[in-house]
Amino acid sequence: MNELRISYVPDDEWMGKILVTVRSGDFAGYGEAWVGNEQVDEFAAALDRYPLPPTEPCILEGGHWGNLDGSIKPQMLVSLTIKPQGLRGAVLVVAKLEDEIENDRSRDAALFQAVEARFLTGYNAISVFVPALRGLPRGGGDAVLQGVDW
């Protein structure tokens, strides 16, 4: 089973935390990151096109951007990319998820988990996913993008 599942926990009227679970074959991962409601809306709008432009991948990313003195390094915790794959209508889903690295550790010395999972889906599955995605910042359950066998 291949699946991307996104939940949303609002913080205020502008921001919230996305909770992302991905399953692809025997691999699975979980990540979470703060994002703006606008980012979720823009991701949904970018996906709500047919066909998806091959040169404009749909991207939703969240993490933290570090601080000015450099003691906290920037880190991308969730990166989701959805783009056309090939000429037959397949769509590639790429999910990169990481645990947050402790402030006092360099990336090379840190103990953290990361997963990158890829699977194919199709436009019918995206058409089910987009309305659920749009509802997330407004308190609407989960948005699930199912994989499709090609």
Q: Is 142 within 8 Å of 129 (Cβ atoms)?
A: no
The domains found in the chain, sorted by start residue, are 3-139 (3.30.2450)
Distance, CA of 40 to CA of 88 (rounded, Å): 28
- Stronger pLDDT, 68 or 56, i.e. the higher one: 56
Q: Evaluate if residue 140 carries a pLDDT over 80.
A: no
Q: How far apart are the first and last CA of the chain?
A: 13
CA distances from 94 to 31, 44, 81, 120 (A): 13, 16, 5, 9
| Helix residue ranges per DSSP H, 36-105 | 37-47
pLDDT of residue 103: 63
Q: For residue 17, what is the enclosing H or E element? A: strand 15-24
Which of these, 3, 12, 1, 7, lies nearest to 95 by C-alpha position? Answer: 3
Residue range 7-24, pLDDT digits in tens: 999 999 999 999 999 999
What pLDDT was estimated at residue 104? Answer: 61
How far is Cα 101 from Cα 56, in angstroms, rounded to an integer?
A: 30
Is 150 a residue whose pLDDT tops 90?
A: no
Tell me the mean pLDDT in the region 76-94.
Answer: 97
Share of the chain above pLDDT 70, in %: 96
**What is the mean pLDDT of the segment spanning 74-89?**
95
Confidence at residue 22, expressed as pLDDT on a 0 to 100 scale: 99
Residue for token pair 């009227």: 13
Which of 26-30, 106-110, 124-128 has the weakest average pLDDT? 106-110
